[in-house]
Structures are given as C-alpha cells and as structure tokens.
C-alpha cells in the first residue's frame, strides 16, 4: 500500500504564502516517488494551492466540510465547493474540531457520509486525550469514535477511507506517541474494521499516525506494518522540513 504523508496546515498560511510554498515544493516532487503527498491548506488558500499545484502529483485536501450541499449554514463549506478546486481528500473529525469546536460523533458521521457520497476521500481522525489515557480508557474512546462514524456503513462505499490515529496529547506538544502505542492503536483500528466491516476493507484501509511527527521520528512509524503514513501539523509548515520528512518516510519503507 502506498503511504500517505499529509500536511495539515490548520489555521496557517495566507493565499500568497500558499502559492510560494506550493511552487517551491513541487520543484522537489521528483523525489517523492512512491509516496502520496497531500496538502490540506485552509479553505481560503485552496484556490491558490490548486493553481500552484496544477498538473502536479501533489494532492489537495480540505481540513473540514459541512454535510449539507448548500443552504443557510453561515460560515460553512460544502463538498461540492471543495470539489471545484480539485480537492480529493477531506479531514473529518480532527481532535481540534471535536474538542475546540464541540463536534460530536453524529456530526462526524454525517460529514463522513457526505464526503463519500460526493466522491471525496475522508481522513477520519480518532484519538484519546491525556486524561482518557491516564484513566485507561484509550481503547474504549477509539472504539466509540470508530463506531460513531462507521458502524453499519456499507463497506463498499468506504473504499476511499483513510484513518488517522492522533492522540490528542501528542498533537503540537513535541511528545510523539511511542512506536508501541502507535502500533497498538493501529492494530485496534484494523481489527475494528475487520470485525465490523469485513477483512477486505480492513486490509485495504490505510491508517496514518499523527502527533508531533517530524523527519527524525517519521521512519519509526512508517516501518510499522499497520501504519501507512502520517498526518503532519507543525513540521509541514516549512517546505524544507516537510520535504525532509517525506524523504525520511520513503527511506524507512524502502530500506
Ligand atoms: P503536529 O504535527 O503539529 O503535532 O499536529 C498533528 C496534527 O494535528 C495533524 O493533524
């Protein structure tokens, strides 16, 4: 399975900064062979990214979407609006949306379904907080998030699905999960997929790790048999650090 290295820029970069970044990174794309590289800028920079990445193999993702196609939803953006810019992936249920914007499992589910119905590939994020880990309920939390979004879905519709395990305590803290924790969570996610949605989907679904990923530690995650890439925040904001991270991920898989 081809690994995905995805840049989640969160609320960073103007359209002008996006153009500059995308023009620079596409100069290096010959070195990204074998890896699916994805950039998820803010909505306001999607147009600039789409133009700067035209005819490039670097793909475009969005950080969120609403489940309705249009209507009185002030401040929201729909799937068809994203498709207009050639967006292929959309991050759904990121912990910052769950915890800072109060997004619940039922909203995450509706977004996931709307993404799939519109031909967008969801990157569904799950992960426990530090308090939940300390209480020993990591497994329960991840399973609840998975069930909320995926239970009783038609596996045939989920073929583009990507999962991301992002423990909240590892995001932006410089304290990445241990390799053992990442592997354990990825195995848990895969066995959930197998039990509830079938072996075929479980085998074909890519699971990413996210949380303080950088060039120095990416290789230890991507060599794991259950992990097929990473969702990267801070280390994706500079062209140099993101491209060295991609190189490190490639090297780890090749060697
Ligand atoms: P950091 O890489 O900055 O820890 O962010 C991870 C993340 O939330 C990616 O979605």
pLDDT in tens, 220-232: 999 999 999 999 9
Distance (angstroms) between ligand 1 centre and the Cα of 127 equals 12
Q: Given this model, what pLDDT does residue 252 score?
A: 83
CA distance 203 to 118: 24
Q: Given this model, what pLDDT does residue 253 score?
A: 77
| Extended beta strands in the chain, E state | 3-8, 35-40, 59-62, 89-92, 121-126, 162-165, 206-210, 229-232
Of ligand 1's listed atoms, the one at least distance from the Cα of 125 is 10
Average pLDDT over residues 53-79: 98
Which residue of 213, 216, 235 sits with most ligand 1 atoms within 8 Å of its CB, as the best mutation to test the pocket?
213
Q: Given this model, what pLDDT does residue 223 score?
A: 92
Beta carbons of 28 and 230 less than 8 angstroms apart: no
Distance (angstroms) between ligand 1 centre and the Cα of 171 equals 5
pLDDT in tens, 149-208: 999 999 999 999 999 999 999 999 999 999 999 999 999 999 999 999 999 999 999 999
pLDDT in tens, 93-149: 999 999 999 999 999 999 999 999 999 999 999 999 999 999 999 999 999 999 999
| Extended beta strands in 76-171, E state | 89-92, 121-126, 162-165
253 closest CA partner among 15, 53, 4: 4
Q: Given this model, what pLDDT does residue 255 score?
A: 54
Catalytic site residues? 94, 166
Which of 3.40.190.10, 3.40.50.1110, 3.90.1150.10, 3.20.20.70 is the CATH number of 3-254? 3.20.20.70
Paired tokens of 226: 């259950």
């Amino acid at each position: 399975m081809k690994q995905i290295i995805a840049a989640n820029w969160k609320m960073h970069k103007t359209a002008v900064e996006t153009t500059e970044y995308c023009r620079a990174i596409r100069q290096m794309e010959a070195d990204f062979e074998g890896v699916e590289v994805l950039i998820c800028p803010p909505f306001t920079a999607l147009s600039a990214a789409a133009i700067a990445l035209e005819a490039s193999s670097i793909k475009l993702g969005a950080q969120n979407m609403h489940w309705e196609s249009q209507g009185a939803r002030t401040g929201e953006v729909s799937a068809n609006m994203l498709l207009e810019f050639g967006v292929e992936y959309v991050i759904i249920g990121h912990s910052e949306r769950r915890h800072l914007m109060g997004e619940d499992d039922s909203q995450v589910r509706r977004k996931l379904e709307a993404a799939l119905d519109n031909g967008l590939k969801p990157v569904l994020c799950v992960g426990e907080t530090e308090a939940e880990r300390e209480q020993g309920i990591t497994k329960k939390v991840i399973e609840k998030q998975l069930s909320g979004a995926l239970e009783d879905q038609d596996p045939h519709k989920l073929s583009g699905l990507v999962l991301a395990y992002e423990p909240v305590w590892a995001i932006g803290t410089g304290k990445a999960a241990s390799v053992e924790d990442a592997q354990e969570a990825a195995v848990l996610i895969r066995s959930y997929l197998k039990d509830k949605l079938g072996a075929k989907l479980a085998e074909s679904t890519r699971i990413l790790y996210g949380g303080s990923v950088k060039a120095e530690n990416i290789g230890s995650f991507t060599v794991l048999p259950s992990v097929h890439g990473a969702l990267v925040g801070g280390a994706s904001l500079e062209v140099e650090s993101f491209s060295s991270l991609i190189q490190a991920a490639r090297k780890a898989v090749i060697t």
